[in-house]
Amino acid sequence: MERDLYRDLLKWKNSPYRKPLVLFGARQTGKTWLLKEFGHREYKNLAYINCDNNPDITGLFFDFNIERLIRSFSVITEQIIQKHDTLIILDEVQEVPMALTALKYFSENAPEYHIAVAGSFLGINVHKGSGYPVGKVDELYLYPLSFLEFLKASGNNSLVEMMQEHHWTEFAPLHERCRDLLRQYYFTGGMPEVVQHYVINRDVQEVRNIQRRILRDYRSDFSKHIPAPLLSKVNLVWDSIPSHLAKENKKFVYGAVKKGARAKDLEDAIQWLLDTGLVFKVNRVSKIEMPLKFYEEFGSFKLFLNDLGLLGAMVDVPIRMILLKDNFLEEYKGAFTEQYVGQQLTAVGIKPYYYTNERSTLEIDFVIQKENVYPIEVKAEENLRSKSLRTIVTSGNNLTGWRFSMSDYRVQDWMINIPLYLVQEWVTAAD
């Protein structure tokens, strides 16, 4: 299975400024598989160590003598560890916090060794202040498969190549084919195990079973890793996300989670979910102007799951509705389509915001910043009206609006309509 992040791993390997690598990502996104695949393909040797419940590794970091550590890694893995030619992988490294601290000394004293670490709960350790080597490591983040990665996995490489050639108008004859593939992605989402099973077996019931098992594993992780006083709040926030996304404006409301709840009651639970990569957050901006960060408001936000397919499984949407019903993309007030667009933006490293004007009904689903600022309207259907987008774009701020919908590509004087299946490549190519 081809992952776009592989290119970034190659850049890391070949960089003269390379530091130890920390690979972040939610559980089940394929971090371990990707690092092992990279190690087997790009190095002479691979030295892999899982730190979870591993007595060989637990007491290893009583000091940070690099020569001794390398010798110990070699004994544990039964591999000859050579400078430049061996990839050392420490998996679930959050279980041994001193191993994270040791990366500082690899960076400063032994940069010739190629060492990468991964773990599903690394984000939590970073915020605990547990000796994370800030400034001494390179960082990458692995998300669920994007739509383009799904296309490659399902054998549609020629379609991906067409998208990357940016001949947007040539997709009109392929509209129905692309729409059907998009519906399949809405069903599977981007969890590698789910996509692989779907591509190989086409067993939709088993796909849904795998998604449910991943959700159960997440719930089990809550019980194992969350302090007791926080556990009930995390469960409440997690369970409330679909109902928030089903609302017209998708805004997260504390009182909808628990009657009378305020930010101080739930913000630690939300932060835990963010740190583990199980959700992503889209904050409001008060102005659509450069730079957006100046106008970010942390108290108003939307909260999305990390994966579209898991959202469908979480609310138990019948499979036939996703794969067969003509107007499924329009159901649930566009919740799935807004989740899809937010997920694609995040996967290509773009931080999305949203905009509302509290003195009017103006609302823009997403706002992003590249070389310019772009207000984005998301439409699940082909019956299109863009009152808010048109008002914002024509207000004199020299903006170009983007509308992601199931309508064909077309350019108007104030707005460009981009089919939903072209979102990722369009955004990547912009500017």
Residue 58: CATH number of its domain? 3.40.50.300
209 and 294 co-located in one domain: yes
Q: What is the largest CA-CA distance in the chain?
A: 67
pLDDT band at 120; cut points 50, 70, 90 = confident
3-state secondary structure (DSSP) of residue 260: coil
pLDDT at position 220 over 90? yes
Give which of 352, 328, 359, 333 is closest to 402, Cα–Cα.
Answer: 352
213 and 194 co-located in one domain: yes
219 and 92 co-located in one domain: no
382 and 313 co-located in one domain: yes
Q: Rounded CA gap, 284 and 299, in Å?
A: 8
Domain of 405 in residue numbering reads as 147-429
317 and 235 co-located in one domain: yes
**High-pLDDT (> 90) share of the chain, %:** 83
User: Helix 263-275 to helix 228-245 angle, to the nearest 10 degrees?
Assistant: 90
> pLDDT tens digits for 133-164?
989 999 999 999 999 999 999 999 999 999 99
Q: What's the confidence (pLDDT) of residue 130?
A: 56
Q: How far apart are the first and last CA of the chain?
A: 30
Q: What's the confidence (pLDDT) of residue 398?
A: 84
Q: What's the confidence (pLDDT) of residue 170?
A: 94
265 and 404 co-located in one domain: yes
